[in-house]
Amino acid sequence: MNNAKGIYGCHNHTFYSEDSNGDPARLCAEAVRSGLAGIAITDHFDTEFLARRDQVGYIRRSLETTRRLQRAYAGQLRIFTGVEVGSAVLYPEGIRPLLATEDFDIVIGSVHTVRYPGWILPFSRIDFTPFTEAQIHDFLYQYFIDLQETADTTDFDVLAHLTVPLRYIIGKYRKPVDMNRYQLQVRRILQTIVDKGIALEVNTSGVGGTFDAFMPERDIVQQYLDMGGRAITLASDAHIPENATHGLAEGAAMLRSLGVTEACYYRNRKPVYYPLPDV
């Protein structure tokens, strides 16, 4: 399935993110080619790297480029300014100057680094091979604590990839995880975002890969809807232009199977609903 026509991809990275070499102009060209209605450019602002990387400078350059591309693609593609704020609980002050001085269309909140003693680094870089079942459990338990604190204390619009550690723990390291153990934590996080009007992201970057699942999976999206949640974004979380539409059509089909007829994108930090295309 690759028809993402009419969808808004609300989470994309470019070479202003540490883990991407993607050319933003090529990302936009790919989005136009594949018929996306719009994209947000949401480069990383990971607080754990503040001491060694000029993150403010990178985000400012990302914003300048995004604004230039908005003008270049006027009438062809809607392009939105954004940022993905990672692990804000490690250094809550970090993002405030940027949010106070720059206009963003969308601010995404996520956790990439868990406050797990001895392993306070992005979990994409952790080798989980020696972790015991108990350690995996403690790690995930702490992940959801950090995500809850992020939702409670950080200024953001969309909660990104709620179950993303599973991509590494299950997908890459083949460790079993019983998500029932985190049911209460997940429920509380969902309640918090429903109460605060924060959108839930359906992240489709894992579709077709070693962890072939939406983040979060369908049953968690169902819970969010049952709790009164309405705002949902679709996100390929592309780190290379070729992935601009990765999994978006599948994500739209999953949402439709739950009776969802509208997703949203963000403009001036407010959700704008659009009809999900038939895919």
Residues that bind Zn ion (CB under 5 A): 84, 110, 237
- Geometric angle at alpha carbon 232, from 164 and 113, rounded to 5°: 25
How far separated are the first and last CA of the chain, in Å rounded? 8
For Zn ion, give the closer residue by CB, 76 or 124: 124
What φ, ψ does residue 137 adopt, rounded to 5°? -60, -50
For Zn ion, give the closer residue by CB, 40 or 249: 40
Q: Cα–chain-centroid distance for residue 266?
A: 13
For Zn ion, give the closer residue by CB, 34 or 42: 42
Q: How far is the CB of 237 from Zn ion (least distance, A)?
A: 4
Q: How far is the CB of 241 from Zn ion (least distance, A)?
A: 15
Residue 199: CB atoms within 10 A of its CB come to 25
Strands (E), the chain: 8-9, 38-46, 78-86, 106-110, 158-159, 199-203, 232-235, 262-267, 270-275
Q: How far is CA 167 from CA 117, 170, 215, 233, in A?
A: 21, 6, 9, 19
For Zn ion, give the closer residue by CB, 12 or 34: 12
Q: How far is the CB of 84 from Zn ion (least distance, A)?
A: 5
| Distance from C-alpha of 86 to C-alpha of 146, rounded to nearest angstrom | 11
Task: Copy the structure tokens of residue 254.
Answer: 């999953």
Task: Copy the structure tokens of residue 58.
Answer: 């990178």
Q: How far is the CB of 278 from Zn ion (least distance, A)?
A: 28
| Distance from C-alpha of 199 to C-alpha of 190, rounded to nearest angstrom | 10
Q: How far is the CB of 82 from Zn ion (least distance, A)?
A: 10
- List, in sequence order, every residue forming a beta bridge with 42; answer none if it has no partner: 82
Q: How far is the CB of 161 from Zn ion (least distance, A)?
A: 6
For Zn ion, give the closer residue by CB, 110 or 233: 110
Taking CB atoms, the residue at the shortest distance from Zn ion is 110
For Zn ion, give the closer residue by CB, 84 or 250: 84
